[in-house]
Structure 1
Amino acid sequence: MTTARVHFDPAEMESAAFYRVLNSIVVPRPIAWVCSRSAEGVLNLAPHSFYTVACVQPPVVQFTSVGRKDSLTNVEQTREFTVSLTPESLFEQVNATGTDFPPEHDEAEHTGVALEPSEVVGVPRVAGSPVSIECTLQGTVSFGDSTVVFGRVVHVSAWESAVRDGRPRIEHLRPLARLGGNEWSTIGEVKEIRRIPYRRWSEDPEIGERLRGG
């Protein structure tokens, strides 16, 4: 059965319109709640939903600044930042820190988000977040209207109550994620499945038959 498709051509669409399409497709997106400090000492707290792990060894995370955001300017100046997980319990505060406050304003202070000292870097973390990643600037890559910021992970701290079997557990983190438009999501149903080693796959033809609907 063939299903009709709607086509979106970036060459024929305005940039903002195609951006909305991409944001609705690349979902759900984890959020880097980036805390940084300007050269003048002003703190900035902002959510960035273009965020992921960039490298395992050495450990590096990345977030993208679409346009020249305060986070980018601050990190370039002071070369360190923190990424706090965005918990469901702070939904309204996470959204509010995305307001386009002027650079001399402290978003955490305006939105009532409590900060606390980090363990290694000089930038604070969000006290109400169960996990925080401390980073030093590894480097940046710019193209078009965006800059990807790579942060070398120098420390991770997590609430003791959120850690089980040596790692933070999703049921205790309750992270928010971004969808398209003004839509957000929570974790919903969590499913668990193991990868199938090829040895087992080759020894048991019923695995492939089942997946192919045979």
Structure 2
Amino acid sequence: MFYEAARGHGLPHDPLKAIVSPRPIGWISSRSASGELNLAPYSFFGPLSSRPMLVWFSSESEKDSFSIARETGEFVANLASRDLAEKINATSVDAPRGTSEFGIAGLTPAPSRLVSAPRVAEAHAALECKVTDIFLPKLLSGEPAGGLVVVGQVIGVHIDDAVLTDGLFDYAKAGNLTRLGYHDYAAVGETFQMRRPRWGRD
């Protein structure tokens, strides 16, 4: 089948999020200027570059993670993993600002080293970030798309030693959780290697 995005697809559900999957989940923790804790998962999340280390998350409307990141200039991206899937889902509740999702999900806020936002103590890895950019994407018409994007530079990295194998972060041990379409998720199981080809080399 083929359809023009502006005309609609005629399917029971929008297939876009299923096609663009699996997607890493940004489990974003933050602390407001007044000390309120917030924790929420974002399925629009990923790395932007490795040198320097930049990550981004976005939402289709202004939510607490966005407003707190704008207010304080900090956030932590915690690793979403299969063993914490139910707790991660619990933190997606649309609780009013000022309600700590750490408490709702029974998770432990742990002090970060370089930012005031806490990390999730139970997470197998966490990235402490300082906001470098916030922007509103545009449509072809030049009008705002309605989405909000936060970019952060990673200034500190926490890794649980239990998920290291021969000095490498082990995705299978950590059980990295990914977002698919609809209400579906997947965790890393099988992995395999392929070397990138280099021009003029065997």
The alpha-carbon deviation at position 18 of structure 1 amounts to 11
RMSD over aligned Cα, in angstroms?
A: 1.9
**Alpha-carbon spacing, 1:153–1:93, altered in 2? closer, same or farther (3 Å):** same
Q: How far apart are the structure 1 equivalents of 2:171 and 2:126?
A: 14
TM-score, structure 2 normalization? 0.90
Q: How far apart are the structure 2 equivalents of 1:155 and 1:8?
A: 44
**Alpha-carbon spacing, 1:138–1:50, altered in 2? closer, same or farther (3 Å):** same
Given residue 164 of structure 2, which amino acid in structure 1 is its aligned partner? V
The alpha-carbon deviation at position 165 of structure 1 amounts to 4.1
The alpha-carbon deviation at position 189 of structure 1 amounts to 1.5
Q: How far apart are the structure 2 equivalents of 1:123 and 1:146?
A: 23
Given residue 68 of structure 2, which amino acid in structure 1 is its aligned partner? N
Q: How far apart are the structure 1 equivalents of 2:149 and 2:191?
A: 30
The alpha-carbon deviation at position 10 of structure 1 amounts to 1.9
Retained in 1: the 8 A contact 2:175–2:189? no
Given residue 161 of structure 2, which amino acid in structure 1 is its aligned partner? E
Report the counterpart of residue 11 of structure 1 in structure 2: 6
Retained in 2: the 8 A contact 1:10–1:18? no
Larger radius of gyration: 1
Identity of aligned residues (%): 34
The structure with the greater share of residues assigned to helix is 1
Q: Deviations over 1:73-130 (max 9, x none)?
A: 0000011010010111111011111111111211111111122111111111111111
Q: Which of the numbers 46, 49, 61 marks the counterpart of 1:55?
A: 49
Q: Does 1:145 align with 2:146?
A: yes
Q: Which runs of 5+ in 2 are unaligned?
A: 138-144
Q: Deviations over 1:37-89 (max 9, x none)?
A: 12221111000111111122221111112210110000000110100101111
Retained in 2: the 8 A contact 1:8–1:18? no
SS at match of 2:38: strand
Retained in 1: the 8 A contact 2:127–2:158? yes
Report the counterpart of residue 211 of structure 1 in structure 2: none
1:1-214 map, 5 Å: 6-13=1-8, 20-143=14-137, 144-200=145-201
Q: Which runs of 5+ in 1 are unaligned?
A: 1-5, 202-214
SS at match of 1:172: helix
Retained in 1: the 8 A contact 2:172–2:189? no
SS at match of 2:136: strand
Q: How far apart are the structure 2 equivalents of 1:128 and 1:190?
A: 24
The alpha-carbon deviation at position 29 of structure 1 amounts to 0.4
Q: How far apart are the structure 2 equivalents of 1:76 and 1:19?
A: 33
Retained in 1: the 8 A contact 2:75–2:117? yes
TM-score, structure 1 normalization? 0.85
Retained in 1: the 8 A contact 2:126–2:158? yes
SS at match of 2:131: strand
